[in-house]
């Protein structure tokens, strides 16, 4: 992928520095993550989403899920006892990983579950009443 210089955007945009930072971080994350582990993002309904991540070979205790400042971080680290095994062929990746997802405003994680080697993370967008569209009656 090409490298884009976003410095002109920082100079000419006032108040949009967060957008430029997101674009810059997205290009860096895309290069560093190399597509491992694969994941899906599913739209459940208008305000509910689910991230499904292939975490074969990882147990619940080896995966951590954290949110901080609209950033969802999912990381996995294998326990040391797995490295003592001697494989003739190892096709299941057992390396550690870290995936980051930028969450939109008012999106929060509601649930996380592990089933058949798939990690499911449920998200919901809760818009405050003050920000919902409302109709104004004309007097």
- CATH number assigned to the domain comprising residue 61: 2.60.40.790
Average pLDDT of the chain, as a whole number: 80
Q: DSSP of 24-89, one letter per residue? A: HHHHHHHHHHTT-S-EEEEEEETTEEEEEEE-TT--GGGEEEEEETTEEEEEE---GGGGG---S-
Full-model pTM: 0.70
Among 12-26, 36-50, 123-137, whose mean pLDDT is lowest? Answer: 12-26
| Pair (9, 72) in one structural domain | no
| Pair (104, 82) in one structural domain | yes
| Pair (51, 63) in one structural domain | yes
| Pair (19, 60) in one structural domain | no
Express each pLDDT in 47-91 by its tens digit.
899 999 999 888 899 999 999 988 899 999 987 665 677 888 888
Domain that holds residue 5: 1-33
| Pair (29, 40) in one structural domain | no
Choose between 97 and 35: higher pLDDT: 97
| Pair (42, 26) in one structural domain | no
pLDDT at residue 15 greater than cutoff 80 = no
């Amino acid at each position: 992928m090409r490298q884009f210089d976003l410095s002109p955007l920082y100079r000419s945009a006032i108040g949009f520095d967060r957008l430029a930072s997101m674009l810059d971080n997205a290009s860096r994350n895309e290069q560093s993550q190399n597509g491992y582990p694969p994941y899906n993002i599913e739209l459940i309904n208008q305000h509910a989403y689910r991230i499904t991540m292939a975490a074969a070979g990882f147990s619940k205790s080896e995966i951590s899920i954290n949110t901080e400042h609209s950033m969802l971080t999912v990381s996995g680290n294998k326990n040391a006892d797995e490295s003592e095994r001697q494989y003739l062929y190892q096709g299941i990746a057992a390396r550690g990983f870290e995936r980051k997802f930028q969450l939109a405003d008012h999106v929060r994680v509601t649930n996380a579950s592990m089933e058949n080697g798939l990690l499911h993370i449920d998200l919901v967008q809760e818009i405050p009443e003050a920000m919902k569209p409302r109709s104004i009656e004309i007097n």
